[in-house]
Structure 1
Amino acid sequence: PLPRFTALFRYIKIHLIMPGLLELCEEQFGSKNLYTVLGVKKEATSNELRKGYHKVSLAVHPDRVDKKKKEEATKQFQTLGRVYQILSDSDLKAVYDETGEVAEENSPAANKDWDKYWRGLFTKLTVQDIVNFEKEYVGSAEELSDLEAAYTGGKGSMDHILNNVLVCTIDDEKRFRAIIDAWIEEGKVDTYDAYLNETDKKKKQRKRKASKEAKEAEEAKKELGLGDANSDLAALILARGQSRQAQADSFFDTLAEKYSKPVAKRGKKPRK
């Protein structure tokens, strides 16, 4: 096998340097840095690169913008695909990392069907996928890690916890409190006033909100025909309502990462 440097040199010789891609990145995304375009660090793993590509591509996908922005979104989507193709190829990535230049094989990338490429990377997710994910996730080490992050990130706010732990509902509150209480007892997490002294008024507001959401979701479910495992995840996100959009986006990213081949994830003194 060729030594690394020789392999890179050979790769540069048999590929054409693509003028314009970096300029397109700056014009469309405000930066010539390919990693910045994907919203990741240079040290990003292949899974992190993939997730970054997925998140940005969702934001600029032509199917997700209004007609006035469709042409611009299409160009951004095509550029994004070329960026990811370079960073997901170990040789092309190495060339870019070492020279700051980008190389694309005889430049067929400009005419590639990026929509088809994207859909191939991120397969359609169904309600059944969500059911399967929930079975694996609830009670797992990953859920506990997310719960701890939500608890500390929201400084004990139960509203924050229920909005940031995946696939949870108000019915999980009692279970979450039992876990958090045990952590506090062990000294694993700090104590927060918002957690220890939550008012009855706030609890009632949360229950009313959950009841309203459940009703809206049920109505949306009927409207969208969400009765079987063949329904699109996008429809499910709509059924969750605007107030849960942030959680839905996070949920979509996690599912896409899990079912489209990536993976992974993860005592203090009490204080008030």
Structure 2
Amino acid sequence: MDDSDPMHSFFPEAAKSSSPETVLYSALSLKLTATSEEIRKAYRKLALQYHPDKHTSKSEDEKAELSKQFQRIGFAYAVLGDEGKKKRYDSTGRTDDKFQGAEEMGWDAYFESLYTRVDRKILDDDKKKYQGSKEEEADLIKAYNSSSGSFPSILSYIPHSHHTDEARFVTTINALIASGDLQSTSKWEKTSTDEKAAKLRKKRGEKDAKDAEKAAKELGVWDEFYGDGKKGKRKSTSGGNDVGAFAGEDGEGSLQALILKRQKERASGLDAMEEKYRRIEEEARAKKKARKGNKRA
């Protein structure tokens, strides 16, 4: 493998391909004759499908795979969406030109900023279109059947899901059960009424929201995201802070990067707390069972 070409980090198969000049087009499901507008549209469609913000409630393994796909799509567009890079790639099948910004901020942040520059409102628009739609209902049915009614699993399957959507999901699924479209299960009855688990999810969601607003204030973009919508002067976070050089012109990218970092840090702590709580419950049940056994003896 030629490690000098960054394409091989995202598309290792390209190193052995007899036609590497087609790999990036295939990643975006495009023909080699695709126009710049077709390239842009294909990228936006796929980036929306795999964007991490749309799948925050999925399992870690699923999020890792989706993130990998998002990076592949982002890299393909970073090349094909740039006239100079595209021309060189089309003629040589190589992509080892400089990617300005990627060296300083890292590939994850680079792809995130690339996506944001295309249209930062696209996820919000998709969320409005999706929630309450037939597509969401079909996804709820599929998630319910595949998980035997496990509410946490259902939440991890549905795009854009948030703790504030839980009551709506329960109402929808119970209506589907009442109509005969779904069969009630013991797992559904137990997990959909688990108040302790619901409180933990709510706590996590509220903390995320507070951190997002705090980060917006730190970066000088509070008005843009929470106020009148006007863009103000971004505050630099370089000098050893969370997002470094990523806080340039693309303030919303900085905000996302900082929030993502904090969410990851907090999620690990809450996961540990949840695991600790689960162990305590298991130990309590085991002790109770042991006491019953001693009484019988």
Name the TM tier (shorter chain). 0.3 to 0.5
User: Which TM-score applies when normalising by structure 1?
Assistant: 0.47
User: Which TM-score applies when normalising by structure 2?
Assistant: 0.43
